[in-house]
Amino acid sequence: MWFTADTHFGHAGARALYRRPFASVAEMDRGMVERWNATVGPEDEVWHLGDFALGMSGAASAALLDALPGRKRLILGNNDPPVTAELPGWASVGHYAEISVEGVGLVLCHYAFRSWNRMGKGWWNLHGHSHGRLRPLPRQADVGVDAWEFRPVCIAEITAKRRSRSVTAPG
């Protein structure tokens, strides 16, 4: 199972706003598609936590979504228009989800929370929206592409990265 957010496919402003290292929107989109395809298998499940594509037609968004392997689920972001939510390639669409993966409880939303359900029981909050610019709380992670080399990420990578930061962070 994989997690990602804030791909902003087709969004010209994303390159400058988030300092993405791509020469053009076409290069950015190609690079993220290549990295997704190198990471995700056809039988894998992917939770996209919002802001899939901006400025693309419904047909172009549908073709792009179909080109990405995996069973894809969308948690809506602030930049996901109705045409994105209505794409037939999504296995599910919602604003929020609670799931368990590899024994780890997860609260999924586009937005980071200050507190979340089962927070005191060890559950994690995975989110997007902040493009790697928000200092996370314990057991919280931004799964957006800007924080993960422009590709989806798995729970083992997320928890390992957060543990290593908490061990090395000054007290």
More confident residue, 162 or 138: 138
Mean pLDDT computed over 59-87: 97
Average pLDDT of the chain, as a whole number:
93
H helix runs in 48-154, sequence order: 58-67, 82-85
pLDDT per residue over 9-42, tens digit each?
Answer: 999 999 999 999 999 999 999 999 999 999 999 9
Please give the sequence-ordered ranges of beta strands (E in DSSP) within 10-112, or none if there are none.
Answer: 45-48, 71-75, 90-94, 96-101, 104-109
pTM for this one?
A: 0.93
Q: In whole angstroms, give the CA distance from residue 165 to residue 159.
A: 10
Alpha helices per DSSP H over 18-154 = 25-39, 58-67, 82-85
Q: Distance between CA 153 and CA 11 in Å, rounded? A: 22
Residues whose CB is less than 8 angstroms from the CB of residue 91 and which lie 6 or more positions away in sequence, other chains included: 45, 71, 72, 73
Provide φ and ψ at 168, rounded to 5°.
Answer: -95, -10
